[in-house]
Amino acid sequence: MLRAFAEGHVFGEPFGDGTPRVVWLHGWGRSSADFREAGELLAARGIASLALDLPGFGASPVPDAPMGARGYAELVSSVVREATQGEPYVLVGHSFGGRIAAVLGSRGETGLRGLVIAGAPLVARSASSRRSPVAYRLVRAAAKWHLVSLNRLEAAKRKYGSVDYRNATSVMRDVLVATVNETYEAELSAITTPTIFVWGVNDSDVPLEVARRAATLMARPPIVREIQGCGHLVPRDGTVAVVEAVVELL
């Protein structure tokens, strides 16, 4: 059964009995359901956990205003304090949730014992791997010089933009734009919490090179676990590896 936090702004699914010792943060377009198997595996070991539906996903309502991962971190921080009641915990973040986890990890949150981050775009990909299609770049340049209408530019964004961008609407589209323009070098350099990266070797959305580059920026170098045969959906396809990382940090 889902529980409400932050006056109904965030919902989460608890697993096991007692105060959660693990908090799960899902990726963009996903929900707490991604961590259901992991939560059940930990519960079988007597470890309680809480999987959140981040605002705008699953059961949690869309936020009142656009914000990036840093804004989400403020809200998640209050939820974690409410849920864990000051007890030590491990924070697990996948993709978008990993961005939030990194921000919280840099702040020395009370009770935070460790971080597990999977498939999170913490640093920008190399220019060659993230270059937009030529047709879109031409339309964008023309719009900059007022040679095409804003409607034409918006149509190009819908056509050539990512699946996430095309599927997002209203506030969530602005949230996505704000988030993809963030990088977290400053946060990474401030993280001293024990951290384990769990990455799919076959992740084409956030390649392994991102994890390796992010690791070099951290004040306390993380353990990097490379999961063979796994792509971007690490919570689903690399569940056991994620659970073992959590247990190690606990």
Provide the residue ranges of all domains of the chain, joining segments of one domain with +.
Answer: 3-124+183-249, 128-170
d(C-alpha 226, C-alpha 219), whole Å: 21
pLDDT, tens only, 220-230:
999 999 999 99
pLDDT given for residue 65 in this prediction: 85
What is the crossing angle of helices 150-160 and 134-144, to 10°?
160
pLDDT, tens only, 92-106:
999 999 999 999 999
DSSP 193: S
* CA-to-CA dists, residue 58 to 3, 29, 33, 83, 105, angstroms: 13, 9, 8, 19, 24
**Closest Cα partner for 54 from 28, 22, 36?**
28
Categorize the per-residue pLDDT at 160 as very low, low, confident or very high, splitting at 50, 70 and 90.
Answer: very low
- Token pair in block for residue 215: 């690791």
Q: What is the pTM of this model?
A: 0.84
Categorize the per-residue pLDDT at 201 as very low, low, confident or very high, splitting at 50, 70 and 90.
Answer: very high
pLDDT given for residue 147 in this prediction: 61
Upper half-sphere CA count for residue 106 (Cβ side, 13 Å): 20
Handedness of CA 15, 74, 197, 61 (dihedral sign): positive
Look up tokens 């605002």; give the residue. 55
The CATH homologous superfamily for domain 3-124+183-249 is Alpha/Beta hydrolase fold, catalytic domain (3.40.50.1820)
